[in-house]
Structure 1
Amino acid sequence: MSEGESKFGFKDMEKALETLKLLESHDMQYRKLTVRGLLGRAKRVLSLTKASEKVKNINDAIGVFAKWLEENGGDASNKNAKTDSEDKVQTVPGLGFKDKAAAEATLRVLAERDPDYQRLAIKGLIGSSKRVLSGTKNEDKIKDINEGVQVLEKFLEQFEAENRSKDNRAYLAHAVIAKLPEPKDELAAEFLAAYGGAKANGNYKHLRTMNPKDDTTSWDIIRNRQIAKLLDQVKAADDKLFDADTQAPSELHLSLIHWAYSPQPQKVKSYVEKLGKKTPEKRKLESASSSSDNDDDDDDAADDDDKSSSDEEEVPKKKRKEE
């Protein structure tokens, strides 16, 4: 059945919202599989589409589906992501569109967060507002919501015009970072413990509603601040990021990696793959063992020297016996 004939679709935001509404009668696993399938088809259609209006409409639908998946424990980019309720990502509090004040408060809450998340959250709110408006008759409420939406749409227009997505700092997988030397910086160590801990369990989206023990600022914002500082240092020092001989990350680069970011993630992953599956602790033990082996070799060499000296002393004795 083609997209045009199907009750589910992705031609624009309204169709996407209608699709989600229709899917509510199905079980969650079916809903997630259907939404992922629609996302895949939408992206394929998008790659073949040149009409700017159609591209915009499909992108709006993609934003609605991606937001829904994220809020319901499924990652649009990972079909193997956990789908049970235990891994459901909490919504960042304080987001709304009921009036101009609520929309402006939303932009303050989203400030300093990952640009891709800002875009996704705003598109999701705009989509939700249209659903609310379709069932609202109160003129004052409609006026307030429209004013709030105008604030969000203006932000989104400026976001796209400035291409702020280029400043998004994609997360390195915690499993990759865990195979490299541990951070000396206490805050970075606490961040990694949170990222790989029981709550986040390697899912960076949980970090938006988690914060350090002595701070009310969420980890995603703290991470972006730390990365910005380190990138300035990398630029000032003209750091090469990798050692020319060993291909190991430089100290500054390793500091960035401890905040789950690298300007060259594939090269970092390749380096980690070469290290094998050994943990940092095992590598330290092997290093200590290697050092111990070298000491033993020195002792063996000393023993050989002693034996050689002893043999030379015994030769005359043997000769006297033969005589």
Structure 2
Amino acid sequence: MDPSPRNQVLLGVGGGISAYKSVDLVRRLRERGYVVRVVMTHAATAFVGPLSFQAVSGHPVRTDLLDPAAEAGMGHIELARWADRLLIAPATADLMARLAAGIADDLLTTLALATEAPLILAPAMNQQMWRHPATQDNLARLVARGARILGPGVGSQACGDQGPGRMLEPLEIAEALSGSDLQPLAGVRVLLTAGPTREPLDPVRYLGNRSSGRMGYALAAALTDLGARVVLVSGPSALTPPAVAELVKVETALEMHAAVTARSRDCDIFVATAAVADYRPAEPAGSKIKKAADALEIRLVRNPDILAEVAALPTPPFTLG
């Protein structure tokens, strides 16, 4: 059964070991009524032969930008107009960097610039490559332009490492894609806080709490999947941030208060999951406090109530605490 009137998927296959999964992905998409055509980078052909994709898709596979046999050499425009969605799986670190920079040096990256179809990426790379600031910066730029990110998964990798970077399984990607037409929060602006805050006692010590940020990060990812444009204001967390439209990193309650105040009038929904410290030291020491006296007294003052202030705005967003 056709999942939607827009059922033509252009599948881009990047040059990573996960490319072998994309053969099964084509089958999973066709089971759900999608018409699939495949474009491969030259690096991808080193892992899987184009004939495999042709066999499961029922269409010739394209690899070259300048193909004289395709619409008078303008096949990239033909494909760009044909696609209802451009799904790239696997999306390697190199491919994401070229997409973020707007480079069009092969057929797939040229299509990404030439099509009006939504861009959907399923990243796949080594865990350290995924965590690298350059990759995270490229990710943020792509998300800010409207790209949807599926994954990556966390677990063992072909190189032997453990961590984030695995391409989602074909069934997961196919189900996510078939559900992408059902995005009730498409275009909705969500401001969300997550994680703990740290209130400095001196340059090396702070008052904090055990919040991991896990609930806020999960909500940010879920809201993004529902189509929302999520701005995540996060205290310190060891978790890999979800792919959101904007990530704002803060440490103290006052920093979080300032970040939220600057953005609260531009959101439709405010979700407060951060474990914000109720109090902070009134006068943090300018240097490390020495272990001298038998007792130490620290005067605390109250932090602003971020949730209450947003809820009390003249025209508040829908607020969830």
Same fold (TM over 0.5): no
Question: Comparing both structures, which one devotes a greater share of its residues to helix?
Answer: 1
Taking structure 1 as the reference length, the TM-score comes to: 0.27
Question: Comparing both structures, which one devotes a greater share of its residues to strand?
Answer: 2
